[in-house]
């Protein structure tokens, strides 16, 4: 499996659960991951730190999704995260003074780069990083 190893002096953001890691934090990349591929992120000794999607063409090289190794990023994981995000805004869906609501708000919902808005009967999805592009159809179907 492809993996990213971080420099030992660049672990503070990931330990504090910041959702981004910049390219300068990367010590090495195992394999040849494609842009948007979900990888294991490890420290220099090989200890698991998080799951995140990788883009070698961006200054924000890693967007972190999950810090529990046992919570692999799967279709079920995406479904659960989307349900949680939308559930947090459930009271906004029944408002009478507006027909617009943000259902998913990217990093604040731990779904970096994904924004989903509802305008009346229309749903608008905005995806910024390559990682979201890879799962966009799955998100739309859910």
Is the pLDDT reported for residue 94 higher than 80? no
57 with 105, same domain: the answer is: no
pLDDT tens-digit readout, 50-79: 999 999 999 999 999 999 999 999 999 999
109 with 92, same domain: the answer is: yes
Which of 28, 43, 66 is a domain's end point? 66
- Domains identified in the chain, total number: 2
In this prediction, residue 89 carries a pLDDT of 87
In this prediction, residue 95 carries a pLDDT of 76
* Whole-structure pTM value: 0.88
In this prediction, residue 128 carries a pLDDT of 86
Phi, psi of 91 (to 5 degrees): -70, -20
Is the pLDDT reported for residue 93 higher than 80? no
43 with 60, same domain: the answer is: yes
CATH code: domain of residue 43:
2.30.130.10
Which of 35, 66, 97 is a domain's end point? 66
Q: How far apart are CA 62 and CA 94, in angstroms?
A: 36
22 with 54, same domain: the answer is: yes
59 with 88, same domain: the answer is: no
CATH code: domain of residue 96:
3.30.750.80
50 with 12, same domain: the answer is: yes
62 with 81, same domain: the answer is: no
Is the pLDDT reported for residue 138 higher than 90? no
In this prediction, residue 84 carries a pLDDT of 95
90 with 125, same domain: the answer is: yes
| Element (DSSP H or E) covering residue 41 | strand 38-42
Q: Residue 119: is it exposed, middle or buried by C-beta count within 10 angstroms (0-12/13-18/19+)?
A: exposed
In angstroms, the Cα distances linking 6 to 99, 120, 128 are: 44, 44, 24
| Pairing, β 38-42 against β 48-54 | antiparallel
In this prediction, residue 117 carries a pLDDT of 94
Report the percent of the chain where pLDDT is more than 90. 80
55 with 79, same domain: the answer is: no
Q: For residue 7, give its domain range.
A: 3-66
101 with 60, same domain: the answer is: no
């Amino acid at each position: 499996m492809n993996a990213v190893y971080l420099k030992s002096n660049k672990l503070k953001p990931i330990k504090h659960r910041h959702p981004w890691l910049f390219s300068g934090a990367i010590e090495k990349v195992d394999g040849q991951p494609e842009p948007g591929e979900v990888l294991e992120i490890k420290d220099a000794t090989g200890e698991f730190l998080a799951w995140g999607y990788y883009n070698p063409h961006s200054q924000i090289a890693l967007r972190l999704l999950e810090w529990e190794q046992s919570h692999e990023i799967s279709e079920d994981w995406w479904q659960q995260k989307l349900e949680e995000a939308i559930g947090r805004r459930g009271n906004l869906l029944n408002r009478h003074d507006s027909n617009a609501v943000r259902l998913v708000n990217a990093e604040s919902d731990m779904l970096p780069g994904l924004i989903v808005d509802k305008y009346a009967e229309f749903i608008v999805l905005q995806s910024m990083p390559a990682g979201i592009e890879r799962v966009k159809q799955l998100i739309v179907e859910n």
